[in-house]
Amino acid sequence: MRHSRLVVVMVLVATTATAQELKFEGLALTPPMGWNSWNHFGCDVDEEVVREIADAMVESGMREAGYLYVNIDDCWQGERDADGWIQPDRGRFPSGMEALADYVHSRGLKLGLYSDAGWRTCGGRPGSRGYEFQDALTYARWGIDYLKYDWCATDGLEAEGAYQTMGRALVSAGRPVVFSLCEWGDNQPWEWGPAIGHLWRTTGDIAACWDCEVDHGDWSSWGVLRILDMQDGLRAHAGPDHWNDPDMMEVGNGMSESEDRAHLSMWAMLAAPLIAGNDLCTMSESTRTILTNRAVIAVDQDPLGVQGFRYRRDGDLEVWFRPLEGEDWAMCVLNRGEASRRFEFAWREEPVVDELSGRRTLFRARLYRGVDLWTGKDLGTTRETLTTEVPGHDVLMVRLVRMVEPEG
Ligand code: GLA
C-alpha cells in the first residue's frame, strides 16, 4: 500500500510542473518521435488526413517502433471568436479538435498542434501573440499533448521572453505538453531553450534533397547535408528532456533510398527528434522499412542522451561516433559524395575519446563486436581492421558492443 502510494507520488512529480516552472519536466527523456503534417501536406491538412495518418501509424508498425505524436502543423486555425478563443478552421476540421484528440488517443497516440509566437503564423493564420494563456488553456481543454511554436511575424519581440511566456502559459494550463521551440536557431535557442522547452530548432527549414539550398526569396530551406553541417558546436547543449532539433525528417519525400537511410542514420547520431514528414498512408515498403529500423531508432533513443560527434573527415567520407549507455558506441560512416568509397578502419590505432561524456575507448585494450545496423550483419571484432565499401550518398551504420574477453 505504502509502496503504491509512493509510486503515484513519483509519477506526479515526474510529469507535473508548478506555475513558477516553465516546462513539464520528464516528458522527453529521449528525443520525441512522431509525425508532422508540414513536410508533405503543407497547408493542405484536415481531420481526414490526421485520422488516416493515425491509423497508418498503427498499421504500418510505426507506433510499435516508437513514433507517438501525430502533429498538425500550420493552417489548422480559423479565426478567433468574439472573446478571443481560437477556433479550428471549420472547413478542414468540422468535428473539432477535441473529437480529433479523442480519436488519436484511442489509437494509443498523442496529438500535437502548431502555433506561433507572433501575430500571424508563417501560413498567415492567427498567431498566439497576446493570447498565450488563452490558447494554452484551449489546447489543454482539447487534450493536446505537444505544441510546436513558430517564429513568424515576431518583429520587435525578444525570443527568450516570447517563448517563456508560452512556456508559462502551458504550465499554468496544467496539461502536460511537450514544448517544441521553432525559432530556427536565430537567437541561440540552445542557450536558453533547455529551461523552457523540450526541443528547439537549430536551423531554418529542411528540404527533401541531399545537399541543396532551395531559395524562397527572403529565406532558404536546406538539404540534409547542409542541415547536418549547421549542427557543429551544438552537441554540448543537448541531453535528456532538452534536444537540438535539426528539423523534421524528409524520409519518403523524394530522396533516394540510400539518402533516406543516411538521413535517418545521421539524425540518430545527432540524438535528433524523429518526426516523420511523409505520407504514411501511401509510403513504399522501403520507406516503411527505413523509418521502422529498430536498431537505428535504438541509437537515437539511447537513454544516455549524448549527441554524437564527427570523429574524422576525409574528403567526402566522414566518421561519426556516439557513446551509448553501458559501454556501447554507435559509429556511422557517411559518404557525402556520389562515388562509392573504400573505407578502412584499424580499430587498434584509433583511440576514440569524447571529452563531453568522458567516454574514452582504446580499442587496443578493449574488444568490441560490430553489427551493421542496416543489414544486421556481424562485422567481426575490433581486433581486425574493418575494410568495406560505402556506396555514394549512403552510410555504414554500426553498433559496437563490448565483448568480455576470457581471462588468461
Ligand atoms: C516555418 C517552420 C516550418 C513550418 C512552417 C509552417 O517555416 O519552420 O517547420 O512549421 O513554418 O508555415
Ligand 1 lined by 251 (C-beta under 6 Å): no
Ligand 1 lined by 122 (C-beta under 6 Å): yes
pLDDT at residue 3 is higher than 90: no
Nearest atom within ligand 1 for CA of residue 122: 12
Amino acid 406: pLDDT: 61
- Cell reading at 106: 484511442
Closest C-alpha residue for ligand 1 atom 11:
122
Q: Per-residue DSSP letters for 18-47?
A: -TTSSS-TTS-SS--EEEESHHHHTT---H
Q: 317, 340 in Cβ contact below 8 A?
A: no
This prediction has a pTM of 0.95
pLDDT at residue 1 is higher than 70: no
Ligand 1 lined by 267 (C-beta under 6 Å): no
Residues labelled catalytic: 150, 205
> What is the spatial distance between Cα 51 and Cα 70, in angstroms, rounded to a whole number?
9
pLDDT at residue 271 is higher than 60: yes
Amino acid 21: pLDDT: 79
The single-letter code of the amino acid at 178 is V
Ligand 1 lined by 123 (C-beta under 6 Å): yes
pLDDT at residue 14 is higher than 90: no
pLDDT average, residue stretch 300-326: 98
Amino acid 5: pLDDT: 47
Burial of 100: CB neighbours in 10 Å, binned 0-12, 13-18, 19+: buried
